[in-house]
Amino acid sequence: MLKITTPYFSFIQESGAPPGPARAGRFHTSHGEVATPVFMPVGTQGTVKGVTPAQLAEIGPQVILGNTYHLGLRPGDALVAQHGGLHRFMGWNGPILTDSGGFQVFSLASLRKMTEEGVTFQSHLDGSPQFLSPERSLEIQRNLGSDICMALDECPPGRIERAKLEASMARTTRWLARSRAVPLQPHQGLFAINQGGTHLDLRRRHLEEAMEQDAKTPFQGFAVGGLSVGEPKPEMNAVLVEFVKELPADRPRYLMGVGTPEDLLFGIEQGVDLFDCVLPSREARHGRILTSRGKLNLKNARHREADQPLDPDCGCYTCRTFSRAYLHHLFRCGELLGFTLNTIHNLSYTVGLTRAARQALLENRFPAFAQSVRARWQTEEP
């Protein structure tokens, strides 16, 4: 058992030597322990869409995400702070991770203008002029009171020429130093984000630069950003194979924005501890159901009279209680309850997949587990 202590978030690796870098571990936050690998549902606007915190607790995700860009614009971080912080405001007592807002500024907002100081942009809500800098991003996250904060990075598009990418990464490195200098609440940890697209040498250099800063004041974790942004899947996977294992072993490793069942399994195999993605809940709202036998489309007429649950191997509230016929009916009618029940299932399946992977790692049977999960997706009819 590897045990290294850092000021916060000391990551304890619990599984020793599976073939390859896959690992189970845990770290502490002031809102509870996080056992990894784990999938974190996304609660963009201070809610995981369609489910109550009590339903979330039963799904058991451990950590959820809050969104700095969205919450900073509406209702505003000062208002959330007035109400005792995001945990209290949204009625969720477990750990919360907030992103830096960078990804949304670079994907949602219009009329962006980048300077060394930060980025000015128009709010996607009302067109009002806004400004985000490393300091402002962390001020918002400090007001939200999340357990894990992310340093602001520039998020270049997936297809960008190398010279431009290098310039962008250099700025992200300078922003990282400014982020580290911002005082946070005592319970909050700061993760650094690695960029570099699919260029392994650039990712390594970017990590070296972060580690120089880390030697002065340690980061509490490391994230891999800038993947799953339109690059071909084999290129993303090649980066993960070579790069994830080079991230510090004594800190949580977070692969941002990745969350299809296939990608989770692959990421875990490379030694990733934390994942987030809107996919399971977004798919649920469109009637696309993730199951142990592959994806199922609830819209399909073959479910109209089907008495079985969405996934006979799932123990979630939806699968324990309702038939496909009922869920098909709710979906056809556009009933809100259908969105909720589908979301409960899709999140339960996704969180459950990472939990089962963790158990397999602890019991030294992870390769066989991964093989059997993939075999069922490929051979069995959902």
Q: At what angle do helices 336-362 and 324-333 cross, to 10 degrees?
A: 130
Closest approach of Zn ion to the CB of residue 318, in Å: 5
Which lies closer to Zn ion via its Cβ, residue 173 or residue 354? 354
One of 77, 147, 214, 276 is an active-site residue; which one? Answer: 276
Which lies closer to Zn ion via its Cβ, residue 169 or residue 314? 314
Closest approach of Zn ion to the CB of residue 34, in Å: 23
Closest approach of Zn ion to the CB of residue 321, in Å: 10
Which lies closer to Zn ion via its Cβ, residue 284 or residue 319? 319
Residue 263 among the catalytic residues: no
Residue 99 among the catalytic residues: yes
Rounded to whole angstroms, what are the CA distances from 223 to 195, 208, 286?
9, 14, 29
B/e letters for 193-222, b = 16+ CB within 10 Å, e = fewer, are bbbbbbbeebbebbbebbeebbeeebbbbb
Closest by CA position to 256, among listed 42, 72, 32? 42
Tokens of 206: 């970017």
28: three-class secondary structure by DSSP: strand
One of 99, 147, 250, 263 is an active-site residue; which one? Answer: 99
The one-letter code for the residue type at 307 is D
The one-letter code for the residue type at 178 is R
Distance CA 73, CA 130 (A): 9
Closest approach of Zn ion to the CB of residue 126, in Å: 39
Look at strands 64-66 and 42-43 and give their pairing.
parallel
Residue 33: count other Cβ atoms within 10 Å of its Cβ: 12
Closest approach of Zn ion to the CB of residue 213, in Å: 43
Binding site for Zn ion (CB under 5 A): 314, 316, 318-319, 345
Residue 302: count other Cβ atoms within 10 Å of its Cβ: 10
Rounded to whole angstroms, what are the CA distances from 140 to 39, 317, 340?
24, 35, 29
Q: What is the DSSP letter of 244?
A: G
Tokens of 244: 């994830």
Phi-psi region of 257 (alpha: psi -120 to 50; beta: other; left: phi over 0): left
38: three-class secondary structure by DSSP: strand
Distance CA 4, CA 94 (A): 24
Q: How many CA atoms lie within 13 A of 288 on its CB side?
A: 9
Closest approach of Zn ion to the CB of residue 314, in Å: 3
Closest approach of Zn ion to the CB of residue 341, in Å: 9
Contact call for residues 9 and 221 (beta carbons, < 8 A)? yes
Catalytic residues: 99, 276
